[in-house]
Amino acid sequence: MSFNSLKAYQKGFSLAMDVFEISKSFPKEETYSLTDQIRRCSRSVCTNIAEGYRKRNYPKHFVSKLTDSDSENSETQVWLEFCLSCHYISKERYKTLIEKSHEVGKLINYMIQNPQKFGIIET
């Protein structure tokens, strides 16, 4: 099994690509703040899952990287709220993206609570 076959990774990747697409339309003055930040944190969800999965022989490291991923997912939610408040996205788009983010969070938390189901060998 590879990290990219994990549901949390796949759904996180899909969300990051959605964020990338919507952020293309953000104003130029947001390039180095909101646009950059929301792209980075949404992508970090996946990179932390991948890094943790590769080190899953070390349970504490695996869980640590998953909690980092969960934190990045929460940060993505905050930036989405800013997008909505600044009227860069519609309420409907916001709702769709937040629902995707909540689903990713649930999958990550399942992994955190059940590391043994992901190849963790307890020592």
pLDDT tens-digit readout, 79-121: 999 999 999 999 999 999 999 999 999 999 999 999 988 876 6
On whether the CB atoms of residues 41 and 77 are closer than 8 A, the answer is: no
Helix-strand-coil percent breakdown of the chain, rounded to 5?
80, 0, 20
pTM score, whole prediction: 0.93
pLDDT, tens digit, for every residue of 33-62? 999 999 999 999 999 999 999 999 899 999
Closest Cα partner for 106 from 56, 69, 58, 65?
A: 69
Q: The tokens 């549901």 sit on which residue?
A: 7
* Residue ranges of domains in the chain, CATH in brackets: 3-114 (1.20.1440.60)
